Amino acid sequence: MTYCLGIITDTGFVMASDSRTNAGVDHISTYRKLFDFSKPGDRVILLCTAGNLSVTQGIVSELDRDIKSQEDVNLHSLPSMYEVARYIGTKLRKVQEIDEHWLKKDGIEPKCSMLLSGQIKEQEPCLFLIYSQGNFIHATKETPFLQIGETKYGKPILDRTLSFRTHLEAAAKCALLSIDSTMKSNISVGPPINLVLYEKDSLEIKNFLKLRLGDPYLAKIRKVWEECLKQGFNEIPDIDWQHRGSDFSEDVLID
């Protein structure tokens, strides 16, 4: 399992991912899940992957091959991010169709999902979630973040903190806390953590961070966040047990 998320704001976007693909008592594997297909000055394209590792690696290899062989249709030739998302969805279906029969024969699911973010020159930045079937949705001003993988533990902080007008640096901190909260609750998510902050209309990646296990900054934000949560919890008013909505006995059902 893994955890990836994308956040879009009015000034750019943030992409973040962990790197763990398998966890056990004596076996932990890590693979990069955040890929950069940008063409500086013309377009920025970032892709996060979750799900069957062989399938996602096959898709990434196909995308990279098409760029290097200068195929008529590739990530650097398509005129819009919508068409980029559609193209990646087609590649996803292609790889799954080739491998699905043999994977399922051994009880292995070929499913995967992806987050795509980017901006093409003179267009607006976009953030998409591409499903295992190859179709996709995009983030909006009302829903400025998307997640894939082990999403539930890191979602509450995103729901309570983010909006489309959140400062980009604050969005990046929120992404790190979301991943850290997930790592705290689920062993299947773990470092290294890859984080990218993209400033709208810059058309290049200027801010990239890789946090490994034991990184001092990662330890610091976890400590500060836990202290803030404890302080906030201690400030919550005590329960007023005398304020009763009704008699408890009246709510007890008797057969």
- Which position has the higher pLDDT, 148 or 105? 148
Cβ contacts of 21 within 8 Å, gap of 6 or more: 1, 2, 29, 30, 31, 53
- Among the residue ranges 43-52, 155-164, 239-248, the one predicted with the least confidence is 239-248
Contact criterion met (CB below 8 Å) for 23 and 201: no
Average pLDDT of the chain to the nearest whole number: 90
For residue 158, is pLDDT > 90? yes
- Distance, in Å, from the CA atom of 255 to the CA atom of 253, rounded to the nearest integer, reads 7
Interval 109-119 mean pLDDT: 93
The separation between the first and the last C-alpha atoms of the chain, rounded to the nearest angstrom, is 46
- Distance, in Å, from the CA atom of 202 to the CA atom of 40, rounded to the nearest integer, reads 9
Residue 223 — φ and ψ, nearest 5°? -65, -45
pLDDT digits (tens, 9 = 90+) for 175-229: 999 999 998 888 778 889 999 999 999 999 999 999 988 889 989 999 999 999 9
At the top level of CATH, the class of 1-233 is: alpha beta
What are the domain boundaries of the chain? 1-233
- Which position has the higher pLDDT, 242 or 155? 155
- Strand 34-36 relative to strand 28-30: parallel, antiparallel, unpaired? unpaired
Contact criterion met (CB below 8 Å) for 197 and 169: yes
Residue 110: predicted pLDDT: 82
For residue 247, is pLDDT > 70? no
Interval 224-253 mean pLDDT: 81
pLDDT digits (tens, 9 = 90+) for 126-138: 999 999 999 999 9
pLDDT band at 102 (very low <50, low <70, confident <90, very high): confident
Residue 22: predicted pLDDT: 64
